[in-house]
A and B are shown apart, each in its own frame.
Chain A
């Protein structure tokens, strides 16, 4: 146990000590909040606290909410009942109502029957959007307050990002008023950059985010928002500005993937000046290209063209051939939509060699698909069929997720 605490900053160690001490003091229900913005740090803290409490004979039951966190109290009760069943094969007197699947930590073993427990709750922030304080989960906590001592007769620690704790204080004041302690954990330099690295924002293109599904995107959005919160009060060094811009751009991508185009534009527009300020032309070009995509999705073709044309020279300057190919492909699509098929084909054909140079075979599938579709629109069924036939083969080779749709286009070409 001591070797792990060595990784934590001294102020976090003493805060954690106070938390452990309070849990040790409390009998029955007592409510604690633990604001902590970075999942990595939170994981470390929970692990350390669990070990320290185990040494005091207190068993920690961890309940992680991975969805929008409704019916919190019922699900906590069910999780506790499940732990009972796991540790001592005891059926609770009142069977809990069927609940949604919920990640419950493996029932720990080796605790005495009737050992004191503490309940750690994580993930409630999934139900507390950054900008919509009137979240359902807050109302639920506030109004259901009185039933908590009955259903969760143990010390209850709620781990949340800082913004979400403030939302609880403002919008679930009755629940908040019952707190017996708030333990604020500070994000240190190393945890912050670890979290930043983990977000890996540049490697997450739109389609990957779209595939994430709604809950996945929501989770990512919350993580980015808490991370942004951590960057808010830092001095404006180049490093900080660059990373802040990256987070804003990442938020733009998540919003765009969820088709919240207005919000996406807002985030991208905040990222742009920061990227310009630190001279991150590659990042700036990516943001411009993404803005173009958002406007294209909104049907504003003129604006889309403007942004793509701003992105292109920057990508060429920094030698980002992959990005350049994407922008060329996107330009082709806008011209195709505008009915200028010559120009469209010209852009697609400029994109192809670049995609091959950088070995982006998924990108190649997309561009060739676009070319095949364009031929079909131009009434050149034979060329379309040949192009789409080759695209289908390539898509099969690389395992492209859009393969079924491309096949449909091929069938369409064959029917002409």
Chain B
């Protein structure tokens, strides 16, 4: 973005400080590698794929919500495509009911995405294969032995559909994923029919993948990568005393998830790395990449100038800083974000509302302070009373235990994970530290 288009007016500042993720190639992207702990997660994932002599790898990717995961994954996709890979990227929330998800749903969604993705990539699969896969799904899921008849039924059902849905297999997969996503009863039925057949389901998906990859290679492609984003939005739920829905998906069925014959990148909730079963998880998926926060301070509560400078650059890519901010206000807002880019955007938006009626530098220390105190008071909605004593512990030890309460705190951005040096460490979000309840818990402890 040339300097002339940097935001100068409050209206432009408000609109450029948008908490919604950047698409790949957006000039406003700032490389935060150095201050996220010197490890570029995208590079690590990229290398694991491109250095591998196997056609298949499986990696997990995690980070706080809103810390830039999707932005980084868009970047990964671009980089892989530039290096000659065919990439199928999809948000799990669009394809699956993330509220109630089991591994077979994920696999069916992948089947659908692979098939439609290959069509988009102009990979033509031969009819025998498609007929075989169609017949398998028709028989197992709907107990239809007569393929022709069933194709006609589907054709009638989808006659008003969009052109991509003209092919029978596309119609069938759309029907199954649709029912898995919306129909509570049909969902249970489909799952109960697929469950005993999982090995066969994987085999069918792998047939699609392997034939697809074969054609892609002839077109000069390096291979196929599937990126499943937003799986980390699965709400945590206890299934019984010992297991959660997260454990059931990534641990009990991790082997199935990783058994597809192409390169896989799954997102997981960051809190999963703080569950009692983390060792099992990393046993199944040895490659788990974390995108930590941008470091704004050290574990000794000293400011970290490099991290603050990056946050400032994130703003400088969007806003004419000298024109809009008083220096003090800018510093305060960056530090208060806790190194979380989206929170920084939100704070800047809030500050626009309290800006002084003057130019230049309408966002002064007062506006920043008022924005922060409003944001702080909104945080009080997310923090239940009983967390405060635990938060004091985190603040003192800069470390989380593997416990459900901490899992929720990480999940809801009450506690953030940082990385400078080799070991990750944790801290209470600066705005939470401002809450009266936190301060009184701190002085009581």
Residues in chain A within 8 A of chain B (CB atoms): 18, 21-22, 25-30, 134, 136, 139-140, 142-147, 149, 165-166, 169-171, 173-174, 176-182
Contacts and interface: CB of A to CB of B under 8 A. Distances in A.
A329 B97 CA distance: 52
24 contacts: A22-B14, A22-B353, A25-B10, A25-B11, A139-B98, A142-B235, A143-B97, A143-B98, A143-B99, A146-B93, A146-B230, A169-B378, A169-B382, A170-B381, A170-B382, A171-B235, A173-B411, A174-B233, A177-B19, A177-B66, A177-B413, A178-B19, A180-B346, A181-B353
B346 A165 contact: no
B15 A25 contact: yes
B115 interface: no
A25 B351 CA distance: 13
B210 interface: no
A279 B350 CA distance: 49
B65 A174 contact: yes
Given A142-B233, A143-B97, 18 more contacts: A22-B353, A25-B11, A25-B15, A25-B352, A26-B15, A134-B235, A143-B99, A144-B93, A146-B93, A146-B230, A147-B94, A149-B20, A169-B382, A174-B66, A177-B66, A177-B413, A180-B14, A180-B346
B342 interface: yes
A140 B382 CA distance: 18
B47 to A, nearest CB: 29
Nearest to A22: B353
B93 A143 contact: yes
Nearest to B340: A177
Contacts of A146: 91, 93-94, 230
Contacts of A140: 99
Contacts of B94: 146-147
A179 B353 contact: no
B349 interface: yes
Contact of A173 (B98, B374, B412): B412
Given A173-B411, A174-B65, A179 B346 contact: yes
A139 B381 contact: no
Given A177-B19, A177-B342, A21 B66 contact: no
Contacts of B20: 29, 149, 178
A165 B381 contact: yes
A95 to B, nearest CB: 10
Contacts, number: 74
Contacts of A177: 19, 65-66, 342, 346, 413
A396 B121 CA distance: 74
Closest 6 CB pairs of A and B: A169-B381, A139-B99, A25-B14, A166-B381, A143-B93, A169-B382
Nearest to B19: A178
B234 to A, nearest CB: 9
Nearest to B15: A27
A180 B93 contact: no
A27 B374 CA distance: 22
Per DSSP, are chain A's interface residues mostly helix, strand or loop, or mixed? helix
Contacts of B97: 143
Contacts of B350: 181
B381 A21 contact: no
A144 B96 CA distance: 11
Contacts of B412: 170, 173
Most chain A beta-carbon neighbours within 10 Å: one of B14, B65, B342: B14
Contact of B65 (A21, A170, A173, A180): A173
Interface string B62-79: 000110000000000000
Contacts of A28: 15
Contacts of B11: 25, 27
Contacts of B352: 25
B325 to A, nearest CB: 17
Nearest to B230: A146
A245 to B, nearest CB: 26
A154 B230 CA distance: 24
B252 to A, nearest CB: 22
Interface in B234-268: 235
B84 to A, nearest CB: 28
Contacts of B99: 136, 139-140, 143
Contacts of A180: 14, 19, 346, 349
A309 B15 CA distance: 67
Contacts of A145: 93
Nearest to A178: B19
A173 B413 contact: yes
A243 B412 CA distance: 37
A26 B19 contact: no
A68 to B, nearest CB: 15
A181 B235 CA distance: 24
A96 to B, nearest CB: 14
A30 B18 CA distance: 8
Interface in B373-425: 374, 378, 381-382, 384, 411-413
B361 to A, nearest CB: 18
B93 A173 contact: no
Contacts of A139: 98-99, 235
B45 to A, nearest CB: 22
Contacts of A174: 65-66, 233
Contacts of A173: 65, 382, 411-413
Contact of A21 (B15, B346, B353): B353
A140 B99 CA distance: 8
A25 B15 CA distance: 7
B89 to A, nearest CB: 13
A181 B349 contact: yes
A178 B21 CA distance: 10
Contacts of A149: 20
Contacts of A26: 14-15
Contacts of A171: 235
Nearest to A169: B381
Nearest to B384: A170
A258 B14 CA distance: 47
Contacts of B342: 177
B353 A182 contact: no
A146 B20 CA distance: 9
